[in-house]
Homo-oligomer: A and B are copies of this chain.
Amino acid sequence: MNSLERVYRHPLLSQEDLKKIIGAHQRDTYAKGEFLLREGQIANEYWVMESGLMRAFVHNFDGIDITTNFFTDADVVIEVSSLFQRIPTAENIQALTDCVCWKINFDCFQKLFHTLEGFSEWGRTWMSQSLFECKQRSVSIITNSATQRYLTLLETRPKVVQQAPLKHVASYLGITDTSLSRIRKESAKL
């Protein structure tokens, strides 16, 4: 089963619906380092990862980049505000390894969203879930120590820790690469 089938699994989507949805996607590949979206652009599509690793990041006022998310297999790679509100994004999305994805553009998405009831339900569920995870992230930054957050990431998304450069993992965790290097050293002892 490919990642599209995994992503669009939903009780209100029939086999036929699924066929339509999956058929609206096109395969695309990105080379390591390539950008799928740059700040200032208006997103006109989103992607479902088939393989590889990507990250999303923003620049803060000092120009420092902060990784806001990582994406691996069967993750939906999307900048929701830009795509749905048709406004320029503040985010960048970049391939950290060579990647294979399925992409769907805004118009196709819209048509499906307003014709298939199950699809709009799916979309809403997906958004709720993202919002939930986003809130959890803030709470985690507030209540857990850097070490705890690192260990959690290591457990829940080992691929990210293994494949992404340390500095990106560090900014995702909200610490400096120096600190992460030390934390990693400490936790290796255990």
Contact = CB atoms under 8 A, between A and B. Distances in A.
Interface in A84-141: 84-85, 113-114, 117, 120, 123-125, 127-132, 134-135, 137-139, 141
A45 to B, nearest CB: 15
Does more than half of chain A's interface fall in helix, strand or loop, or is it mixed?
helix
Interface stretch (A13-21, A31-39, A58-66, A155-163): A58-66
Interface residues of A, number: 34
A83 B117 CA distance: 18
B85 A128 contact: yes
Number of copies: 2
A134 B81 CA distance: 12
A80 to B, nearest CB: 4
Interface of A: 58, 60-61, 64, 66, 68, 80-81, 83-85, 113-114, 117, 120, 123-125, 127-132, 134-135, 137-139, 141-143, 171, 174
